[in-house]
């Protein structure tokens, strides 16, 4: 397998970076659906639906039909969670990567390249909280995973933050992005919050996890 190297984003990376990000998010749709099916709240709601239809109709066939319909209807809803997130990113910061991450002085976007092909991305941008940097847009191409590329990308962001005197790095990931959770925990991040991103997210038992890693530099002088 070709060696990889980390380098700053260039304009020629635009399409590959956007595609890599979108694929990295959309691949979690089946896991999000499984997560919903395993959630006690969802199972209870399904049972309640079956019981209600059974009581109203007086026989099992419509009750089971309603359960199947509910399960089928959940799939596009779960998918829409991921597609709307991807759409929003592609229409905001990833629409003009140069303006979002290359031109601002305290932001950056790195790519991992192997054999002349873009295989990983990560970005950093100041968070709303002063003195805190946010890590975003982490994604590694499927056939290049397990080689330590993401770990090196995280360290690049940590170095960047320390060099600029930031006191902490924050990021968000989701309940189903287990590889990402392990990655960040292995790099010293700890989970500091969990919340549903929307009413739909809440209905689908989907949560966003917030992570934070303090840096030795302490709070940044403003
Ligand atoms: C999460 C992701 C970026 C990891 O990329 P990677 O290059 O394969 O990760 P690395 O090889 O650098 O692994 C670093 C650590 O991550 C964790 N990790 C990586 N893949 C894992 C997996 N499949 N299961 C559990 N932990 C995993 C491990 O802790 C690993 O350390 P170890 O090798 O000492 O066990 C990659 O799976 C990905 O792009 N996923 C889809 C997009 C995504 O979820 N992005 C995160 C957005 S917040």
Mean of all residue pLDDT scores within the chain: 96
pLDDT of residue 2: 84
**Residue 184 reports pLDDT greater than 80:** yes
Q: How far is CA 68 from CA 41, 59, 135, in A?
A: 17, 15, 40
Query: How remote is the CA of residue 112 from the centroid of ligand 1, in Å?
Result: 14
Nearest to 9 by CA among 122, 145, 139, 88: 122
- Three-class SS state of 130: coil
Domain count, the chain: 1
Best of 179, 186, 213 to mutate for ligand 1, by most ligand atoms within 8 A of CB? 179
**Residue 219 reports pLDDT greater than 90:** no
Strand order in the sheet with 4-8: 4-8, 108-114, 117-126, 132-140, 168-174, 208-214, 190-195
Nearest to 113 by CA among 209, 214, 2, 218: 2
Token pair for residue 209? 């996890």
Q: Is 190 in the pocket of ligand 1 (CB under 6 A)?
A: no
| Percent of the chain whose predicted confidence (pLDDT) is above 70 | 97
**CA atoms lying within 13 Å on the CB side of residue 96:** 4
Q: Tell me the whole-structure pTM to 2 decimals.
A: 0.94
What is the enclosing helix (H) or strand (E) of 30?
Answer: helix 29-38
| Percent of the chain whose predicted confidence (pLDDT) is above 90 | 95
Query: What CATH number should be reported for the domain holding residue 37?
Result: 3.40.630.30
**Residue 160 reports pLDDT greater than 60:** yes
pLDDT of residue 1: 84
pLDDT of residue 220: 53
In tens, the pLDDT along 10-28 reads: 999 999 999 999 999 999 9
Ligand 1 atom 19: residue of nearest CA: 179
CB 142 within 8 Å of CB 174: no
Q: Is 155 in the pocket of ligand 1 (CB under 6 A)?
A: no
CA gap 82, 108 in Å, rounded: 25
Q: Is 169 in the pocket of ligand 1 (CB under 6 A)?
A: no
Find the domain containing 160 and state its range. 1-222
Nearest to 120 by CA among 97, 100, 96, 148: 148
Query: How remote is the CA of residue 160 from the centroid of ligand 1, in Å?
Result: 21
Query: How remote is the CA of residue 129 from the centroid of ligand 1, in Å?
Result: 27
CA gap 78, 57 in Å, rounded: 29
**Residue 30 reports pLDDT greater than 50:** yes
132-140/190-195 β-pairing: unpaired
168-174/132-140 β-pairing: parallel
**Residue 221 reports pLDDT greater than 80:** no
Q: Is 164 in the pocket of ligand 1 (CB under 6 A)?
A: no
pLDDT of residue 218: 53
């Amino acid at each position: 397998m070709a060696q990889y190297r980390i380098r700053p984003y260039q304009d020629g990376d635009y399409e590959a970076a956007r595609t890599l990000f979108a694929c990295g998010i959309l691949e979690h749709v089946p896991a999000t659906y499984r997560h919903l099916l395993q959630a006690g709240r969802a199972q209870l709601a399904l049972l309640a639906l079956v019981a209600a239809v059974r009581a109203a109709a007086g026989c099992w066939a419509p009750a089971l039909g309603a359960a199947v319909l509910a399960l089928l209807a959940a799939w596009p809803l779960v998918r829409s969670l991921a597609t709307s997130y991807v759409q929003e990113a592609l229409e905001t910061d990833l629409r003009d990567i140069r303006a979002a991450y290359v031109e601002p002085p305290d932001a950056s976007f790195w790519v991992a390249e192997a054999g002349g092909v873009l295989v990983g991305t990560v970005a950093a941008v100041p968070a709303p909280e002063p003195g805190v940097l946010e890590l975003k847009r982490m994604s590694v191409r499927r056939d290049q995973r397990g080689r330590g590329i993401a770990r090196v990308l995280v360290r690049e962001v940590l170095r960047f933050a320390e060099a600029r005197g930031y006191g902490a790095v924050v990021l968000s990931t989701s309940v189903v992005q287990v590889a990402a959770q392990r990655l960040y925990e292995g790099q010293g991040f700890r989970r500091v919050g969990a919340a549903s991103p929307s009413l739909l997210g809440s209905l689908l038992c989907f949560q966003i996890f917030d992570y934070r890693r303090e840096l030795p530099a302490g709070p940044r002088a403003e």
